[in-house]
Structure 1
């Protein structure tokens, strides 16, 4: 694990965080098959449904990802008309066998439950994919809310973003500003975890503390680098208010031990302003954030 020579993210003099914002794919979990399947399906969609030459899709996928944050955002920005529900069904739900590709992670559940700070998912993927992943990992009730493609786009539209001709996604700085505003916190009150140094750098430039997950090399815009979120108790012990809940990460016959989770039911409610009493929890923009049932 690499933390560099600089003081850690929660070093003396830095305000205590009010929110943890955590990416989903390749951050909360890592399964190379999932990424490979999604990449293949994106290219198949471009050929089958958009009529792009098969020999061009690999290049275009990379170009759009680098220029716009996601291939989907690049396609839309370049004039392709895409049914978003159809795209996500083809790329995610219609292609991924979540039960086979993912396993419950009780060790990470222990860690997340030991952190008494509001935790939110921020993903460029859609709602159903996020729910399926979190449910399979056994982590869905560890989070106070989820920001995903649909409600981020709704939030963007409510603040004047032209969603008919563009997709708002990481690493666009606007997404972090809108999410922080929706949560009623400043960007300096947030610790953001992501596997993409580029996504982190754009948030860091706004004052957010950033943690790179899955890579042990620090880079500009990254405050801390850790191999996995399982390293949080060692790398950021000050986050854990209940360290006694954290157990060793162990497997049996290649499978992580099962852990009984609470209800996986989800419902949409207005966003809670951090620190506000329950009766005053309202959303300034009227955008619902998916929140796990307790």
Structure 2
């Protein structure tokens, strides 16, 4: 399995290091639904006006500036000195505003693709746990991943590693998040294949040595080894990843896989080096 063999959207990479882990963003990467980011953006601005007292005249520009300078608007607000209840923020912005059953539909073809890749697969998202789990459940992809890295457990992991998040948010594209995740999974970043729709998230991971795929584009950006219009183009672009079709699906069918409630990365659990088998990350969700 040689990732550097090239394919649609980009030429061969210089380093043919074999990936041991797939790290995949959630929103606008695993699925595309333009209504969701539009609703989230509107709710973020409503929160800033209603809860933080920011003027309606300046909220749009402030939202954009904070997003561009800090990675997420939430991160920028916290860095600017606003005290925010994170659970209340996510409830207001995501699960309290999104009708998941209407906006998202099961994606059996993507499920088949993911289940045909004989490598551990993990989600890395700036979103919170509830949003992540609801999206994956609605897409029918919950058991395609061996673990989830989302807002809450990334913040917990950062605190355990000595990063001060008492009045700060750690999120992509901060390079520390990729290093923390790789360390937790027991792999080098050069052994990670990272998928994201954000050019700056991809570039940050690539700068640390990860192999990167920009999703939602026809051509790679600086820092991306490959570009895919959607994740459905993965088999044609990187057929070498699907060299053991059905293995992961069969593993779950035999009853050895865990349900969605256990697909949560336990930041206190040790994770050994990854190979063809899934890394042991088995702390049930609370």
Instruction: Give TM-score, length-normalised by structure 1.
Output: 0.85
Q: How far, CA to CA, are the matches of 1:149 and 1:27 in structure 2?
A: 17
Q: How far, CA to CA, are the matches of 1:96 and 1:113 in structure 2?
A: 28
Corresponding position of 2:213 = 211
Name the SS of the counterpart of 1:57 in structure 2.
helix
Q: Are the equivalent residues in 2 in contact too, given 1:146–1:290 (CA < 8 A)?
A: no
* Per-residue deviation, residues 250-284 of structure 1 (Å, max 9, x unmatched): xxxxxxxxxxxx98541355353234899x958xx
Q: Are the equivalent residues in 2 in contact too, given 1:145–1:289 (CA < 8 A)?
A: no
Corresponding pairs, count: 265
RMSD: 2.3
Structure 2: gaps (5+ residues): 1-6, 248-256
* Per-residue deviation, residues 72-125 of structure 1 (Å, max 9, x unmatched): 000000000000000000000100000000000000000000001000000000
Q: Confirm whether residue 189 of structure 1 aligns to residue 191 of structure 2.
A: yes
Q: How far, CA to CA, are the matches of 2:20 and 2:135 in structure 1?
A: 25
From 136, 139, 145, the counterpart of 2:138:
136
Corresponding position of 2:12 = 7
Corresponding position of 2:152 = 150
Give 1:217 deviation, angstroms: 2.1
Q: How far, CA to CA, are the matches of 1:93 and 1:87 in structure 2?
A: 10
Structure 1 residues 163 and 58, CA gap change in structure 2 (3 angstroms): same
Structure 1 residues 221 and 289, CA gap change in structure 2 (3 angstroms): farther
Structure 1 residues 54 and 17, CA gap change in structure 2 (3 angstroms): same
Q: How far, CA to CA, are the matches of 1:275 and 1:153 in structure 2?
A: 23
Q: Are the equivalent residues in 1 in contact too, given 2:122–2:149 (CA < 8 A)?
A: yes
Corresponding position of 1:249 = none
Structure 1 residues 94 and 61, CA gap change in structure 2 (3 angstroms): same
Q: How far, CA to CA, are the matches of 1:94 and 1:130 in structure 2?
A: 14
Corresponding position of 2:273 = 274
Give 1:219 deviation, angstroms: 1.6
Give 1:3 deviation, angstroms: 2.4
Corresponding position of 1:66 = 68
Q: Are the equivalent residues in 1 in contact too, given 2:8–2:237 (CA < 8 A)?
A: no
Q: How far, CA to CA, are the matches of 1:127 and 1:157 in structure 2?
A: 17
Give 1:164 deviation, angstroms: 1.6
Name the SS of the counterpart of 2:22 in structure 1.
strand
Corresponding position of 2:115 = 113
Give 1:162 deviation, angstroms: 1.4
Higher strand share: 1
Name the SS of the counterpart of 2:83 in structure 1.
coil
Q: Are the equivalent residues in 2 in contact too, given 1:65–1:71 (CA < 8 A)?
A: yes
* Per-residue deviation, residues 111-143 of structure 1 (Å, max 9, x unmatched): 000001000000000000000000000000000
Q: How far, CA to CA, are the matches of 1:219 and 1:150 in structure 2?
A: 30
Name the SS of the counterpart of 1:191 in structure 2.
strand
Q: How far, CA to CA, are the matches of 1:271 and 1:137 in structure 2?
A: 29
Q: Are the equivalent residues in 1 in contact too, given 2:119–2:275 (CA < 8 A)?
A: no
Structure 1: gaps (5+ residues): 246-261, 283-287
